[in-house]
A and B are shown apart, each in its own frame.
Chain A
Amino acid sequence: MAKIVQLISKNCGKIKPDSVTDYVNAGGYAGLKKAMEIGPAQIVEEVKKSKLMGRGGAGYPTGKKWEQGYVRKTVFEYVVCNGDEGEPGTYKDKLILSQNPLLLMEGMTIAAYIFGIKEGYIYVRGEYYGLKEMLNNAIKNAVEANYLGKNIMGTDFSFNIHVVWGAGAYVCGENTALLESIEGRSGRPRQKPPYLSQEGLYKKPTIFQNVETYSNIPYIVEHGGDEYASYGTECSGGTKLVCLSGNVINKGVYEVPFGTPIRELVYSLGGGVSNGRKLKFVQLGGSSGACFTEEKLDTPMCYKALKDNELKLGSGALLVVDDSNCVIDFLKTITGFFIHESCGKCTPCREGNTRIYEILDRFSKGRGKPEDIDDLYRLSNLMDITSFCGLGQAATTALKDCLKYMREEFDEHIEGKCRAGVCNLT
């Protein structure tokens, strides 16, 4: 039985999201208080011990990143939070933003406190614009209660948070594109290096994390990194918000400890495949994530175990796909998404996705040829190696996996057969 461990989601839905009183009564700001007692060096130490890995997709150890900045005495100017959440099937940052934003803000405030940073930004995708008034109220209330703004809790530490809205662009989740967008420009990725810790927002050193990552900080500081880590596995500390979607009975966001097998997420939390159908495959980490079938379902959700199986956790989205779906049709949807979202800056991604779509479209019309499969491999490898940013590099992850695990369906389409009966093969 998969268990739910609520370290960061326990107050979601139980308190008025913009009420500081409710938040404090539910134990809020204990982390910030503790942070001020133990001081910057010890906070960084606790975050390191927590084995917290960035929850936005890349999974880089947060403590390591902060320690490097701390040891090098980097003069950070900004704390930025990535609330772009564009990966299809991901809606866990929305849970925090809409139901407990003060937790996120407390986490950002602790990060700011470590480095003496005065300004923070939360970049939220435009699709969540309905949260605007509530988020502004949450900030206003926190300022009035002296948990934000000038001389926080009577100390000489001052910190402000601004909310900036996106306007529909998946690529803005890429960290440099997001900064371009905050600065009021198109969200096209910048060259890296320089890294954000050297040149971030307005070319100043910037601390940059995902919503869920910051939201873990108050717990870690209050209870200690060791305790947090103990919920997870040897290499991946704590819990993860997982989002179940697709052909599964209980869709939703669940907070589970690292180490939980993917199978349990699908069958015990998710209640299994809906409508009595059979599982065809799952996709982990959103549309840029890996697709895999039954045989890898017992892999535990842990960064190392997943890596050993050539999988990545990504954003924590888990899409269940049943046998009424056709692989080719599914991949057309995925590729269509990336055509729409490519920023057009580099040729491999701008052109590659379109060419792949054309080939898949031929398959879906019964006009695919054996040599098209070679082209699919060639194009996806090329995009992987030569695309300028992570979008183009990961756009064909699903395609490569489907070719690997469900190749026979491609061949069947060449022979004029769609086993799911989805494609109109003429």
Chain B
Amino acid sequence: MNKTALLSQLDEIIEKYGGLKDNLLQILLDLQKVSGHNYLPEECLEEISSQLNLPLSKVYEVATFYSMFNHEPKGKYIIEICNSAPCHVEGADDLTQLFEDVLGIKVGEITTDGIFSLQHSSCFGACDISPAIKIGTEVYGNLTKEKIEEIIKEYRGE
């Protein structure tokens, strides 16, 4: 999405939340959703600061405190592999290795086609199907190499 279109979407989001600074977190969550690359562009944070009448430093403080917010463009889809204890004892390390092999990137990187980012995450409550991954709001568990390849194909639209 181009900058002007994104800024006008941001206006709508801010208006939806009444322009209230209490809703900063909710505004940032929505902004990251529409950004296209799962991140909070700097000029948007500046715009939020001026519209909510909050010092930019305060906006930054909140935007950098929470782990779901990103500050650089990410892949279209972020694959999050849980590395908390319950998934760890069920083989999260092996799963990470599988994803790294299949995608050809390391944790923290983006695929060259810009479709996927690979990250670790704290527990997201899918421990009953551990080791688990999350892509956006979808969770997947009990994964095998075949299943992983299938999921990746599906997201790539192949």
* Closest beta carbon of chain A to B55's beta carbon, Å: 13
Q: Is A164 an interface residue when CB atoms closer than 8 A count as contact?
A: yes
* Closest beta carbon of chain A to B131's beta carbon, Å: 11
Known contacts A167-B29, A168-B68, A186-B61; 15 additional CB pairs below 8 A are: A86-B122, A88-B86, A89-B86, A125-B125, A128-B124, A130-B137, A183-B22, A245-B86, A246-B127, A253-B128, A287-B84, A317-B86, A319-B85, A333-B84, A340-B67
- Set of chain B residues within 8 Å of A187, measured between Cβ atoms: 65-66
Within residues 64 to 98 of chain B, which ones have a CB less than 8 A from any CB in chain A? 65-69, 83-86, 88-90
Interface string of B99-116 (1 = CB under 8 A from A): 000000000000000000
A186, B89: Cβ atoms under 8 Å? no
- Set of chain A residues within 8 Å of B126, measured between Cβ atoms: 91
B29, A126: Cβ atoms under 8 Å? yes
Alpha-carbon separation in the docked complex, A317 to B128 (Å): 11
A130, B138: Cβ atoms under 8 Å? yes
Q: Is B56 an interface residue when CB atoms closer than 8 A count as contact?
A: no
Which residue of chain A lies nearest to B92 when distances are taken between CB atoms in the complex? Answer: A333
Interface string of B116-155 (1 = CB under 8 A from A): 0000011111111110001001100000000000000000
* Closest beta carbon of chain B to A203's beta carbon, Å: 13
Q: Is B24 an interface residue when CB atoms closer than 8 A count as contact?
A: yes
B85, A88: Cβ atoms under 8 Å? yes
Which residue of chain B lies nearest to A322 when distances are taken between CB atoms in the complex? Answer: B89
- Set of chain B residues within 8 Å of A90, measured between Cβ atoms: 123, 125, 127
Alpha-carbon separation in the docked complex, A340 to B65 (Å): 11
Interface string of A64-99 (1 = CB under 8 A from B): 000000000000000000000111111100100000
A184, B21: Cβ atoms under 8 Å? yes
Interface size for chain B: under 10, 10 to 19, 20 to 34, or 35 or more residues? 35 or more
Within residues 104 to 133 of chain A, which ones have a CB less than 8 A from any CB in chain B? 125-130
B130, A91: Cβ atoms under 8 Å? no
* Closest beta carbon of chain A to B130's beta carbon, Å: 6
Across chains A and B, the number of contacting residue pairs, with CB separation under 8 Å, is: 130
- Set of chain B residues within 8 Å of A130, measured between Cβ atoms: 137-138
Selected A-B contacts with CB under 8 Å, 18 pairs: A85-B125, A86-B123, A88-B127, A89-B127, A91-B125, A94-B125, A126-B66, A164-B25, A167-B25, A184-B21, A184-B25, A184-B62, A185-B24, A185-B58, A245-B86, A245-B128, A287-B85, A333-B85
Q: Is A13 an interface residue when CB atoms closer than 8 A count as contact?
A: no
Alpha-carbon separation in the docked complex, A337 to B125 (Å): 15
Alpha-carbon separation in the docked complex, A94 to B96 (Å): 25
A88, B123: Cβ atoms under 8 Å? yes
Interface string of A161-174 (1 = CB under 8 A from B): 00011111110000
Of B69, B88, B122, B134, the contact of A167 (CB 8 Å cutoff)? B69
A167, B130: Cβ atoms under 8 Å? no
* Closest beta carbon of chain A to B11's beta carbon, Å: 19
Which of A130, A167, A181 has the most C-beta atoms of chain B within 10 angstroms of its own C-beta? Answer: A167
B83, A91: Cβ atoms under 8 Å? no
Which of B85, B88, B137 has the most C-beta atoms of chain A within 10 angstroms of its own C-beta? Answer: B85
Q: Is B26 an interface residue when CB atoms closer than 8 A count as contact?
A: yes
Alpha-carbon separation in the docked complex, A27 to B120 (Å): 42
B83, A164: Cβ atoms under 8 Å? no
Q: Is B23 an interface residue when CB atoms closer than 8 A count as contact?
A: yes
On whether A330 and B85 interact (CB within 8 A), knowing A91-B126, A186-B65, the answer reads yes
- Set of chain B residues within 8 Å of A325, measured between Cβ atoms: 89
Q: Is B28 an interface residue when CB atoms closer than 8 A count as contact?
A: yes
- Set of chain B residues within 8 Å of A150, measured between Cβ atoms: none
* Closest beta carbon of chain B to A123's beta carbon, Å: 10
* Closest beta carbon of chain B to A309's beta carbon, Å: 21
Alpha-carbon separation in the docked complex, A404 to B137 (Å): 40
B122, A247: Cβ atoms under 8 Å? no
* Closest beta carbon of chain B to A179's beta carbon, Å: 11
Of B20, B62, B85, B137, the contact of A337 (CB 8 Å cutoff)? B85
Alpha-carbon separation in the docked complex, A43 to B96 (Å): 51
Q: Is A341 an interface residue when CB atoms closer than 8 A count as contact?
A: yes
A88, B24: Cβ atoms under 8 Å? no
- Set of chain A residues within 8 Å of B121, measured between Cβ atoms: 127, 168
- Set of chain A residues within 8 Å of B123, measured between Cβ atoms: 86-90
Alpha-carbon separation in the docked complex, A405 to B122 (Å): 27
Of A166, A243, A246, the contact of B66 (CB 8 Å cutoff)? A166
On whether A245 and B127 interact (CB within 8 A), knowing A130-B138, A186-B61, A319-B85, the answer reads yes
* Closest beta carbon of chain B to A238's beta carbon, Å: 23
- Set of chain B residues within 8 Å of A100, measured between Cβ atoms: none
